[in-house]
Amino acid sequence: MDPSPATSFYTKYLTLPRQADAIALFPGGFGTLDEGYEALTLMQTGKSRMMPLVLIDKPGGTYWKTWDKTVREHLLRNRLISPDDLYLYQITDDTARATYIISRFYRNFHSSRFVKDLLVIRMQRPVPEAAVENLNTDFKSLLMNGGKFRIISATEDEIEDNDYVELPRIGFEFNRRDYGQLRLLIDTLNSF
């Protein structure tokens, strides 16, 4: 029995952010905007993993710039979103730039996972100790309970799940609120 179009749409709607490593959207209708807002909402609220969301226009096009202007004039200006939420997406009209944005996101960042109250960020290469001190200053707003960013070994839960235990990682008690800032943190980790 073939799935109905509604079932296929619903399945795609739920699985796209869970299965994708990046999302690239091109100008489109309601469905495109819906997928974009869904991806943004899931990342902004921590319901999906952080990933690049690239809005790609035709060369010289204004579709996404007009959309971005609306977001800034109506959502940001009225304080319905945080200024940092604007870091959850990037706009370009150059496919080579879009490819760069996506590949740069994974330059050092590998994945993340909550282990109880600890957010563990796994990377391809370790973060230098001196850089961790800078994170404690530059991203202090992400920390809960006077916590600190620290280099850690794989947690017991990660070892039990065999969850990338070989990768270097940092851990911190994340406030579970500032996901736009978390995106900036990932960009910073990718610079090491």
Among the residue ranges 6-15, 136-145, 177-186, the one predicted with the least confidence is: 6-15
Give the pLDDT of residue 36: 95
Cα atoms found within 13 Å of the Cα of residue 22, Cβ hemisphere only? 18
State the Cα angle at 45 between 42 and 46, rounded to 5°: 80
End-to-end CA distance of the chain: 51
Amino acid at 16: L
pLDDT of 9 strictly over 70? no
pLDDT of 4 strictly over 70? no
Give the pLDDT of residue 166: 97
pLDDT of 1 strictly over 50? no
Report pLDDT digits (tens) over 36-50. Answer: 999 999 999 999 999
Give the pLDDT of residue 10: 60
Report pLDDT digits (tens) over 141-192. Answer: 999 988 999 999 999 999 999 999 999 999 999 999 999 999 999 999 999 8
CATH code at 5-105: 3.40.50.450
The answer to whether the beta carbons of residues 77 and 85 sit under 8 Å apart is no
The answer to whether the beta carbons of residues 53 and 101 sit under 8 Å apart is no
Phi, psi of 25 (to 5 degrees): -120, 140
Mean pLDDT for the chain overall: 92
Q: Over the chain, what HEC string results?
A: CCCCHHHHHHHHHHHHHHHCCCEEECCCCHHHHHHHHHHHHHHHCCCCCCCCEEEECCCCCCHHHHHHHHHHHHHHCCCCCCHHHHHHCEEECCHHHHHHHHHHHCCCEEEEEEECCEEEEEECCCCCHHHHHHHHHHCHHHECCCCCCEEECCCHHHHHHCCCCCCCEEEEEECCCCHHHHHHHHHHHCCC
Give the pLDDT of residue 146: 87
Report pLDDT digits (tens) over 69-127. Answer: 999 999 999 999 999 999 999 999 999 999 999 999 999 999 999 999 999 999 999 99
